[in-house]
Amino acid sequence: MVADGDIDFEEMVIPIFAIMMMAAGLGLAAQGATDMGKAAAAADRIFAVLDRKSTVDPSSEAGLRPGTVSGALSFREIEFTYPTRTTPICRGFTLEVAAGHTVALVGPSGCGKSTSIQLIERFYVPQKGKVLLDGTDLQELNVSWLRAKIGLVGQEPVLFDGTVAENIRYGKTDASMEDVIQACQMANAHDFIKGFSDGYDTSVGTGGSKLSGGQKQRIAIARTLVKKPQILLLDEATSALDNESERLVQAALDSLLQTQRRTTLIIAHRLTTIRNADKIVVVDEGKVAEQGTHDELVKLKGKYAVLQASSQ
């Protein structure tokens, strides 16, 4: 038709180009429909979690608020399965933690170690059995009161965009500067903080981006210590660090455990970090398999001895 002069070249190209654009658009729409289907399915799962009613209300004023806390913990025949799973994680988990003692939990991933910490903090309620604090069922205690008595240091420290001092005061909003410095000294953080040009007024950046992993973890430890908790929970506190950072953080924790007797529960994969614990507990398939001191368990030549040999 172009050759015959019925239409010019431009008139021919425009509809062809339009058809090509429409075809490309239809292709993208088809791909988008698939993505939309996946997104809708993911949204359904997210909203199912958000709509699930919690069995624990942290804002409730109900519950006991004892005047004193010694820190003795007892797990009595705990049976627990996470709401989104069908396989039990705790199967008759029973353990006594004496007040002021340091107890370390070791064992394979998924055996129930971290779950025990979540039960202490009342993030979950066991389907069977009880967790007791100084002989009182945790479910009888006020939730906010209980959590104020507990300090947690996890594997990944969470810092906010602000100064060093501000991040530490998230542990106790009315902490004096003297309290902040004392907590940092115990956490082996004071010296490196004083090395900053602005000291405790130094900005840590979003998520602590201006600090090393070891520095962030020691500030997280200081934030926990400034609230002076009766119970200290250490959940893989050094596992994400390089060797030098781990050495510095572990030195801070060792010094802390030696100088201040508070009930401490440690979860660790690196057995070298818990040799001096008052009691080491081997957890396997949701229950206590062995317990004793490091030397006692090595002599037993059981599961702990196997873990010890494999870690060397």
Q: Are 286 and 111 in contact (CB under 8 A)?
A: yes
pTM equals 0.78
Mean pLDDT of the chain: 86
Out of 25-34, 138-147, 248-257, which region has the weakest mean confidence (pLDDT)?
A: 25-34
Residue extents of the structural domains in the chain: 1-48, 101-128+141-311
The pLDDT assigned to 282 comes to 96
Q: Are 234 and 225 in contact (CB under 8 A)?
A: no
Bridge-based pairing of strands 102-106 and 287-292 is unpaired
The pLDDT assigned to 2 comes to 44
Residue 92 pLDDT more than 80? yes
Tracing tokens 């820190």 back to the chain, one arrives at 71
Residue 33 pLDDT more than 90? no
**Cα separation, 146 vs 154, whole angstroms:** 18
Section 269-284 average pLDDT: 89
Q: pLDDT-based confidence at 109, cuts 50/70/90? A: confident
Bridge-based pairing of strands 90-97 and 263-267 is unpaired
Q: What's the CATH number for 101-128+141-311?
A: 3.40.50.300
Question: Between the CA atoms of 221, 223, 225 and 227, what dihedral angle is there, to the nearest 10 degrees?
Answer: -160
| b/e per residue 197-222 (b: at least 16 CB within 10 A) | eeebebebeeebeebebbbbbbbbbb
3-class SS at 227?
Answer: coil
SS (H, E, C) 17-73: HHHHHHHHHHHHHHHHHHHHHHHHHHHHHHHHHHHCCCCCCCCCCCCECCCCCCCCE
Q: pLDDT-based confidence at 213, cuts 50/70/90? A: confident
Residue 196 pLDDT more than 50? yes
Section 7-16 average pLDDT: 59
Section 11-30 average pLDDT: 66
Q: How far is CA 91 from CA 225, 245, 287, in A?
A: 33, 36, 6
Section 224-231 average pLDDT: 92
The pLDDT assigned to 28 comes to 67
**Cα separation, 252 vs 191, whole angstroms:** 12
Query: What percentage of the chain reaches a pLDDT higher than 90?
Result: 59
The pLDDT assigned to 241 comes to 74
Section 176-188 average pLDDT: 93
Cα end-to-end distance, the chain, whole Å = 83
Q: pLDDT-based confidence at 44, cuts 50/70/90? A: low
Query: What percentage of the chain reaches a pLDDT higher than 70?
Result: 82
**Amino acid at the residue 36:** M
The pLDDT assigned to 110 comes to 87
